[in-house]
């Protein structure tokens, strides 16, 4: 199946009982049994729910995976994958990544005895230097959040496997439509479904996709044993969102490319981070690894303090200042004070997340309206 067909038809198909075209929402916590253990495959909704089953099938199909598991948030999915590790294990992680992922590693799993090294994963030789005999996992975000650096999935998968480690790819920014990490031999894909897959900023959800049966069984056990599962109504909303994923991604990417080009020549912008610009350090890799460069654009405004950005927030009419990304509406964010505030200032600086860094989640509105909105607000930033 090609992409638009796949997105519209992924999941269980028509309801066999009624012919309902849309997946029914099974708002039930429990299921009748004929005799103890004699039932139709469903016992309790933490373990299984038919709406979630349909969603998990759809997610697996989108990612080209054998298995998918849905969780109550992207971080719950991250938590489940990190629980595959044991105290004493070592993990190599992208230096530039989502603040919450950094926080769960440093503040939750490090005290439990897992070691993390944050390195520049765009360069396989830097990753190779970081391997130790106890390295069990390489965790990358590509494109990364918020600087949109691109790491080479196939090369890192190969490297990880030579060291007997697993490669995990947080595919949130790219979505399964733009990038297929499992095809490039990554072992596990993690998503914040909250973002593009859900696509409408109306729910929180996460997912894990993979091909390896024993690892799937462990994660399935954790999903039920820990219990961070999504509600049936949210599963339905994501099934609905998935139907337009390729359509939305095409418009997100088209708008982002034009906005990145507009910003690149703007006098109040000193640097633009977008994998679709020739000036991006991994432009060629992105072209080869991704269908399109994505809907996220970051840029460095020429300001000396975060306060200088006030006129930007105050004068935007279409872009909303908010955390999160991937919805149909355009959002703007200052990573240093919002999404990445959980990273200590020194670390943030070392990562390149400066006070003047602005991250755009470019929506699917008309391109010209978005550019006019940015142009007007940027011009209100007073003389520097
Ligand atoms: C938002 C996000 C997460 C966390 O997902 P939640 O659904 O907010 O828990 C993880 N990785 C990336 C890249 C994200 O943007």
Does 53 contact ligand 1 (Cβ within 6 A)?
no
Burial of 272 (0-12, 13-18, 19+ CB in 10 A): buried
pLDDT at 383: 57
- Report which ligand 1 atom has the smallest distance to the Cα of 194: 7
* Pocket mutation for ligand 1, best pick of 194, 237, 323, 331 (most atoms within 8 Å of C-beta): 194
Does 144 contact ligand 1 (Cβ within 6 A)?
no
DSSP letters spanning 34-47 = SBTTBSSS-SBTTT
pLDDT by residue (tens digit) across 180-219?
Answer: 999 999 999 999 999 999 999 999 999 999 999 999 999 9
**Euclidean distance between CA atoms 106 and 96, whole angstroms:** 14
**Euclidean distance between CA atoms 263 and 267, whole angstroms:** 8
**Protein residue whose Cα sits closest to atom 1 of ligand 1:** 192
- Report which ligand 1 atom has the smallest distance to the Cα of 193: 7
Buried b (16+ CB within 10 A) or exposed e, 239-255: bebbbbbbbbbbbbbeb
Q: Which CATH architecture has domain 245-382?
A: Alpha-Beta Complex (3.90)
Q: Where are the domains of the chain?
A: 3-242, 245-382
**Protein residue whose Cα sits closest to atom 12 of ligand 1:** 98
Q: Which residues pair with 300 in a beta bridge?
A: 271, 357
pLDDT at 304: 81
Give the ranges where the chain is alpha helix by DSSP (H).
3-9, 50-63, 74-82, 99-103, 124-130, 153-162, 175-178, 213-226, 232-242, 245-264, 283-289, 310-315, 345-351, 367-379
Domain 3-242, CATH number (from 3.30.70.270, 3.40.50.10490, 3.40.50.11540, 3.40.640.10): 3.40.640.10
pLDDT at 384: 47
The CA-atom distances, in angstroms, between 230 and each of 32, 70, 172, 192 are 22, 7, 17, 12
Does 171 contact ligand 1 (Cβ within 6 A)?
no
Give the CA count within 13 Å in the CB-facing half-sphere of 306: 11
The CA 192 to ligand 1 mean position distance, Å, reads 4
List, by residue number, the catalytic residues.
Answer: 46, 98, 170, 195
Does 192 contact ligand 1 (Cβ within 6 A)?
yes
pLDDT at 283: 98
- Report which ligand 1 atom has the smallest distance to the Cα of 76: 9
Sort strands 357-361 and 296-301 into parallel, antiparallel or unpaired. antiparallel
pLDDT at 295: 98
Buried b (16+ CB within 10 A) or exposed e, 202-220: ebbbbbbbbbeeebbeebe
The CA 75 to ligand 1 mean position distance, Å, reads 6
- Report which ligand 1 atom has the smallest distance to the Cα of 145: 13
The residue with tokens 């090609």 is 2
Task: Give the residue ranges of the chain where pLDDT is below 70.
Answer: 382-384
pLDDT by residue (tens digit) across 21-63?
Answer: 999 999 999 999 999 999 999 999 999 999 999 999 999 999 9
């Amino acid at each position: 199946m090609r992409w638009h067909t796949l997105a519209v038809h992924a999941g269980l198909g028509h309801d066999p009982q009624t012919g309902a075209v849309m997946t029914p929402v099974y708002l039930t916590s429990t299921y009748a049994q004929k005799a103890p253990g004699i039932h139709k495959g469903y016992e309790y909704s933490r373990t299984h729910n038919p709406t979630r089953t349909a969603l998990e099938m759809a997610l697996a199909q989108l990612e080209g995976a054998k298995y998918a598991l849905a969780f109550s948030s992207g971080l719950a999915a991250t938590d489940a994958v990190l629980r595959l590790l044991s105290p004493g294990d070592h993990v190599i992680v992208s230096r530039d990544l989502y603040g919450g992922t950094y926080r769960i590693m440093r503040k939750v799993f490090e005290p439990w005895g897992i070691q993390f090294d944050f390195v520049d994963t765009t360069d396989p030789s830097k990753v190779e230097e970081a391997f130790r005999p106890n390295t069990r996992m390489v965790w990358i975000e590509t494109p990364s959040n918020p600087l949109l650096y691109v790491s080479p999935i196939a090369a890192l998968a190969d490297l990880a496997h030579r060291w007997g480690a697993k490669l995990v790819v947080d595919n949130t920014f790219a979505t399964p439509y733009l990038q297929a990490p499992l095809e490039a031999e990554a072992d596990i894909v993690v998503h914040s479904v909250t973002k593009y897959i859900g696509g409408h900023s109306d729910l929180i959800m996460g997912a894990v996709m993979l091909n390896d049966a024993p690892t799937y069984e462990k994660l399935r056990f954790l999903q039920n044993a820990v219990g961070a599962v999504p509600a049936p109504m949210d599963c339905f909303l994501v099934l609905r969102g998935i139907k337009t994923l390729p359509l939305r991604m095409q418009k997100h990417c088209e708008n982002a490319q034009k906005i990145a080009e507009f910003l690149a020549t703007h006098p109040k912008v000193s640097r633009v981070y977008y994998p679709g610009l020739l000036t991006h350090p991994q432009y060629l890799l992105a072209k080869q690894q991704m269908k399109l460069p994505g809907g996220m654009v970051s840029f460095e405004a020429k300001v000396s303090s975060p306060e200088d950005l006030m006129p930007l927030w105050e004068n935007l009419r279409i872009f909303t200042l908010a955390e999160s990304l991937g919805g149909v509406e355009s959002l703007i964010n200052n990573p240093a004070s919002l999404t990445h505030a959980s990273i200590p200032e020194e670390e943030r600086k070392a990562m390149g997340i400066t006070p003047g860094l602005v991250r755009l989640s470019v929506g699917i509105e008309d391109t010209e309206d978005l550019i006019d909105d940015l142009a007007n607000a940027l011009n209100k930033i007073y003389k520097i």
